[in-house]
């Protein structure tokens, strides 16, 4: 498994982690992922999966980079702290490696939210601060609201079919040393099963690259994401076998020709 720095920190994270949105696989698939090197686990208070993550990392906490999120409905100062403390209890840990604002709430001043997030760092409950679903403008406003702790990650939708962040957010985050955590990197499984879409000529391109590389379509789609130096992916799977497949998307690279071909095909 290849690793990348989390933002500008010295914390190293795997380029393929484990997402648990709509996850119902129990403890074993997550432990399989950890054993295979996918030790970044990302959850959220609204997912209802913090408890199972806490069970999965029991006895393994020092081997895991643990990330969760505060709901966009809980962004007032007192709500942020209560949400973080509740997540810590559900995860059965005393510190979060990455705590993220799940989505921006225009009804709450971003300054109040980010100062509350920073206070969690000051008090030793959180190591690093991130955001999720923030546009470039929203990210910049959040950055300007922090005094000491930087924003190290922005978790956003990104895959071959959904490339909107490439216009401005992706290059800005690269310049600012902010990690992009790509959720839904397989487009809800569509990119993992291109044969299901026989009339979509773009999916045939994924199959062609996979056949030439002797990889699976899912591995090609994930590797395309992580070909960007500041992008990691957090695919979700309830199956240990599929988690193993996803982990094998790391440790190799698509060629420049293959990247150009996929970029042109999915433009």
Active site members? 47
Q: Give me the long-range contacts of 71-75 (CB less than 8 A, separation at least 24).
A: 71/44, 71/45, 71/46, 71/102, 72/101, 72/102, 72/103, 72/104, 72/105, 73/105, 74/45, 75/101, 75/105, 75/108, 75/112, 75/113, 75/116
Q: How far is CA 240 from the centre of its chain?
A: 19
DSSP 8-state symbol, 182: E
Closest CA to 174 of 138, 220, 139: 139
With CA atoms as reference, report the closest residue to 237 among 24, 5, 77. 24
Which of 204, 254, 257, 190 lies closest to 224, judged by CA? 254
Could you tell me which of 153, 145, 159, 146 has the C-alpha nearest to residue 176? 153
């Amino acid at each position: 498994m290849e690793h990348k720095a989390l933002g500008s920190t010295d914390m190293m994270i795997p380029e393929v982690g484990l997402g648990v949105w709509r996850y119902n696989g129990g403890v074993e698939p997550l432990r399989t992922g950890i054993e295979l090197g996918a030790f970044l686990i990302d959850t959220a208070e609204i997912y209802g999966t913090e408890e199972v993550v806490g069970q999965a990392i029991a006895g393994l906490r020092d081997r895991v980079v643990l990330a969760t999120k505060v709901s966009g409905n809980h962004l007032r100062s007192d709500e942020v702290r209560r949400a973080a403390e509740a997540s810590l209890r559900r995860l059965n840990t005393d510190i979060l490696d990455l705590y993220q604002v799940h989505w921006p709430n225009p009804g709450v001043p971003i300054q109040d939210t980010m100062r509350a997030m920073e206070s969690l760092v000051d008090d030793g409950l959180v190591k690093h601060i991130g955001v999720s679903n923030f546009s470039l403008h929203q990210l910049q406003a959040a950055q300007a609201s922090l005094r000491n702790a930087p924003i190290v990650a922005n978790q956003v939708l990104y895959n071959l079919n959904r490339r909107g962040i490439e216009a401005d957010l992706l290059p800005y985050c690269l310049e600012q040393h902010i990690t992009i955590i790509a959720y839904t990197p397989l487009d809800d499984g569509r990119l993992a099963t291109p044969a299901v879409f026989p009339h979509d000529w773009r999916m045939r391109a994924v199959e062609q690259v996979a056949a030439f590389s002797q990889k699976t379509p899912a591995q090609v789609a994930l590797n395309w994401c992580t070909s960007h130096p500041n992008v990691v992916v957090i695919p979700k799977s309830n199956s240990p076998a599929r988690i193993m497949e996803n982990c094998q998307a790391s440790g190799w690279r698509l060629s420049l020709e293959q990247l150009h071909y996929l970029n042109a095909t999915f433009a």
